[in-house]
Amino acid sequence: MNESVLLLFLLNFVFIGLLPKLFFKKDGKFNLMWWVTASPFFLCTVFLLASHLGYVSLLNGAQYAIRILEPTAVLFSVASLALMFFTLGTHRIPIALWHQDNDAPTHIVTYGAYRWIRHPFYASFLLALFGAAVFCPSWGTFFTFILGFVILNLTAAREERRLCASQFGDEYSEYMRRTGRFFPTRGIARVSSASS
């Protein structure tokens, strides 16, 4: 296992873990849903370290493809970090932790990274989890990617329901029609042509 690539992924997950402390509003406390949402990132880090230490084996045949998989994995990690920084640069004020019951937004953001996808932070988190599964193809890393996708999808859906029921409901419903949840949709063409 390439230690430089491992360090890149560990730093990627550390940065994900620091986001709530460094950037988001402090209105809410870390409730059970926050810990459930964060669990795939903690677990993936454990699986990466356990694999590096020899406690977790790679899937059969994966060790032969590692030299091909490592550069691909690096691309996913770099894309994850780039999307996180782009999204951070989009915000002018700290944003609400929507999965917290007592934290509510003061506005919605539909520009910058949000112009193309509704949940760019979550998309960047999924890129990191998928990249880790490519870098260290084991049952544990694949499990954490699938777990992360399911949990982030449920969390995003809950946030979207709350936004649609808020004072921003009409505006957010229109925004949902033209953007994808984690991946850009054909709405990119409409958004690009509308801004021209």
Can you spell out the DSSP letters for 123-191? HHHHHHHHHHHHHS-SHHHHHHHHHHHHHHHHHHHHHHHHHHTSTTHHHHHHHHHHSBSSS--THHHHH
Provide the pLDDT confidence category of residue 193 given band limits of 50, 70 and 90. Answer: very low
Task: State mean pLDDT over 85-102.
Answer: 70
Do the beta carbons of residue 43 and residue 147 sit within 8 Å? yes
Provide the pLDDT confidence category of residue 47 given band limits of 50, 70 and 90. Answer: very high
Residue 176 pLDDT: 92
In angstroms, the CA 45 to CA 58 distance is 15
Task: State mean pLDDT over 135-151.
Answer: 95
- Structural domain of residue 117, as residue ranges? 3-195
Task: State mean pLDDT over 83-101.
Answer: 74
In angstroms, the CA 66 to CA 175 distance is 41
Residue 17 pLDDT: 87
- Is the pLDDT confidence value at 35 over 60? yes
Residue 192 pLDDT: 43
In angstroms, the CA 76 to CA 129 distance is 9
- Is the pLDDT confidence value at 52 over 50? yes
- Torsion 47-52-56-58 (CA) sign: positive
Q: What is the CATH number of the domain that holds 108?
A: 1.20.120.1630
Q: How many domains are contained in the chain?
A: 1
Task: State mean pLDDT over 28-35.
Answer: 72
- Is the pLDDT confidence value at 166 over 80? yes
Percentage of residues in the chain having pLDDT higher than 70? 81
Task: State mean pLDDT over 76-82.
Answer: 97
Q: What's at 73, amino acid-wise?
A: A
pLDDT digits (tens, 9 = 90+) for 98-110: 555 555 666 788 8
Task: State mean pLDDT over 171-183.
Answer: 91
Task: State mean pLDDT over 150-160.
Answer: 92
Provide the pLDDT confidence category of residue 196 given band limits of 50, 70 and 90. Answer: very low
